[in-house]
Structure 1
C-alpha cells in the first residue's frame, strides 16, 4: 500500500476529464505535488500542480517527462483516446492510433517511470482500464483496453521485485467529454478518483469502481455472448 499524503504524483492526461479529477483528489489527500500532462499544457493557479507536455506516442517526450518528474512515487497512467467506428469499417489509421496511445503509449510511460518509482521506494503505478476491457462491442477502444489490462497484469509481476504496487482500474463510463455522446449512465469523475485512491492506500491490486463493472468481471466465467456491452452507437 502507498500513502498519498506528502507524495509526489504524476497524472497523464491530467488537465481534463478523469485525469483532472485524479489530480484534485490527490491534492485533497495531501499530495505535495502533482505533475499533470497534456499535449499542449496550460498553466494553472495552484502551485502544487505542475503542467508538463507529453505525447505518449512520442518516445522522446516520455523520456523527457521521466527526467523532469524524477521525484514521483505515484503514477496514474490515464491518457487515452477514443476513435468511434466498428472494426470492419473504421479508418485503419484510427485503429492503429488507438493502440499507439492506449496500449503502447501507456507501456512507454510504465517503462520510463519504472526506474523512477524504484529509486523513490517502489511507489504505485495506477493503470486506467475500462469495463470495455472485458466487453465486446466497443471496437478498437475496447480491444485496446483489453490489451492494456493484459499488460498491467504482466507489469504487476515484473515490478513486484522493486516493491511497486500496480493497480488496474476498471470502470463504466465516467462523465467526461470523451463519452459525452454515449447515452449511458455515467459516474462522477470525482467518485472514480476517490474510489481508486482508497484502493491505492489500502494496498489493492485491482479496483472495480462500479457495480456494472463488477457484474461484467463476474460474467467472464460464463458464455462469451454475455460479454457484449451496448454503447449506443
Structure 2
C-alpha cells in the first residue's frame, strides 16, 4: 500500500520513533495522521490529531477505535524497555510490566483496529519488534523476552489477517538513538533512517523489514545458533 493518501494511526506518537513515524507519514502525503499517547496533550506535531490511548486500558482502546474508523495503516509503536536480567529477584515484576505493554498492548490495539483495517480495504499493520526478538543479553533480558513474544504475536496476526487483505509487517532493529536506549553505549541507528526504511517496506508489500546490518546478520545467523550468544558480550 502507499502511505500517500492513507490514514495512519501511530501509538506512542508523542516522542522517539512514534514522533518520527508521524513526521514521515505527513511528509509522504498521508491524508490523516492520528497520534496516540497516554496524555494526548503531549502530541504537539502540527497536522497530527491527538488521541488519548494507554494501550493497556480496554476503555481507551474502545474509545480510540470508535473515534478513528477510517484508519488504513496502523503502526504499533508503543513499548517500554527496562534493564535487568531474568535471574534478578524482581525479574517477575519487570517482565510482567513489559509483557503488559509490549505484548498485551500490541494485541489490544491490533484487535481494536483489525476489523477497521478490513472494512477499509485491508490496509497494513506495522509492528515494532527488535533484534532482541531473536537474541538476548542479561543487561535487558526481560525486554528481549517480551519482544520474542511480540514477534510470535506478529506472526499470528499476519496469518489471521491475510484473508482480509491486511499486510502485517514485522519491523526488526538493533539499537536506535531514542530515549528508549539512552544510557546504552553501543552504535545506534537514526530514527529518520529506520522509519524511512519501514515505510519503504510497507509500500513495497513486504512482510518483514530489518533496518540495520546487525539485525540482518542476526536473521541470517538464526539457523547457525546465533541466539546462543550474548548479543552485547559477543559470546
TM-score normalised according to structure 2 size: 0.94
CA deviation after TM superposition for structure 1 residue 77, in Å: 0.2
Q: Is the 8 A contact 1:12 1:78 kept in 2?
A: yes
| Unaligned stretches of 5+ residues in structure 2 | none
Query: Secondary structure of the equivalent of 1:107?
Result: helix
Q: Which residue of 2 aligns with 1:204?
A: 206
Question: Judging changes above 3 Å, is the alpha-carbon distance between structure 1 residues 111 and 97 closer, same or farther for their aligned structure 2 residues?
Answer: same
1 CA distance for matches of 2:117 and 2:25? Answer: 17
Residue 30 of structure 1 corresponds to 29
The answer for the alignment partner of 1:139 in structure 2 is 141
Query: Which residue in the other structure is 2:98 paired with?
Result: 98
* 1:62 Cα deviation from its structure 2 partner: 1.0
In structure 2, C-alpha distance between the alignment counterparts of 1:95 and 1:122, rounded to whole Å? 33
Root mean square deviation of aligned Cα: 1.5
Q: How does 1:167-182 map to 2 (within 5 A)?
A: 167-182=169-184
Q: Secondary structure at the match of 2:40?
A: coil
- Structure 1 residue 36: Cα displacement: 0.8
Q: State how far apart, in whole Å, the 2-side matches of 1:108 and 1:124 are.
A: 16
Deviation, 1:225, is 5.7
Aligned to 1:50: 49
Equivalent pairs counted in the alignment come to 230
Q: Deviations over 1:90-113 (max 9, x none)?
A: 522221010000001101111110
Shift of residue 178 of structure 1? 1.0
Counterpart of 1:17 in structure 2 is 16
1:1-233 matches, cutoff 5 A: 2-42=1-41, 43-44=43-44, 46=46, 48-89=47-88, 91=90, 92-137=92-137, 138-223=140-225, 226-230=228-232
C-alpha contact (below 8 Å) 1:13/1:36 kept by paired residues: yes
Query: How far apart are the structure 1 equivalents of 2:215 and 2:226?
Result: 16
Once the two structures are TM-superposed, the CA of residue 162 in structure 1 deviates from its matched residue by: 0.4
Matched residues in 2 for 1:64 and 1:168: separation?
Answer: 26
Structure 1 residues 227 and 134: alpha-carbon distance in aligned structure 2, compared to 1, 3 A threshold: farther
**How far off its partner does 1:63 sit?**
1.3
Q: Is the 8 A contact 1:184 1:231 kept in 2?
A: no
Indicate conservation of the 8 Å contact 1:118/1:163, yes or no: yes
Deviations 1:33-60 (A, max 9, x none): 11111111225251x2011111111111
| Matched position secondary structure for 1:11 | strand
Q: How far apart, in 2, do the equivalents of 1:79 and 1:128 lie?
A: 8
| Aligned-partner SS, 1:145 | helix
Distance 2:192 2:229 in 1: 27
Q: Residues 154-201 of structure 1, C-alpha deviation per residue, up to 9 Å, x if partnerless?
A: 111100110000000000111101101100111110111100000000
